[in-house]
Chain A
Amino acid sequence: MASLSTIFLVAAKTLTLACGVVVTTLTHRAYRRTGSTAMRVLSVGIGLVTAGAVLAGSLNQLAGVPLVVSTTVESIFTAAGFLVMTYSLYSDRLAGT
Chain B
Amino acid sequence: MVRDPVADEETPTLTTVLDALDDEDCRSIVSVLAEPMTANEISEASGVPLSTTYRKLELLTDSSLLYEGVEVRSDGQHASRYAIDFEEVVIALDEAREFEVDIAHRARSPDQRLENLWSEIRKET
Query: A residues engaging B (CB < 8 A)?
Result: 23, 26-27, 29-30, 33-36, 38-39, 42, 88-90, 92-97
Contacts and interface: CB of A to CB of B under 8 A. Distances in A.
B36 A39 contact: no
Chain B contact residues: helix, strand, loop or mixed: mixed
Interface in B61-103: 67, 69-71, 81, 83
B5 A38 contact: no
A38 B117 CA distance: 8
Nearest to A22: B125
B123 interface: yes
B80 to A, nearest CB: 9
Interface of B: 5-6, 35-36, 67, 69-71, 81, 83, 106-108, 110, 113-114, 116-117, 120-121, 123-125
B124 A29 contact: yes
A26 B81 contact: no
28 contacts: A26-B121, A26-B125, A27-B121, A27-B124, A29-B124, A30-B120, A30-B123, A30-B124, A33-B120, A33-B123, A33-B124, A36-B120, A38-B113, A38-B117, A39-B121, A88-B117, A89-B113, A94-B5, A94-B67, A94-B69, A94-B70, A94-B71, A94-B81, A95-B36, A95-B71, A96-B36, A97-B106, A97-B116
B104 to A, nearest CB: 15
A42 B117 contact: yes
B40 to A, nearest CB: 16
Contacts of A97: 83, 106-107, 116
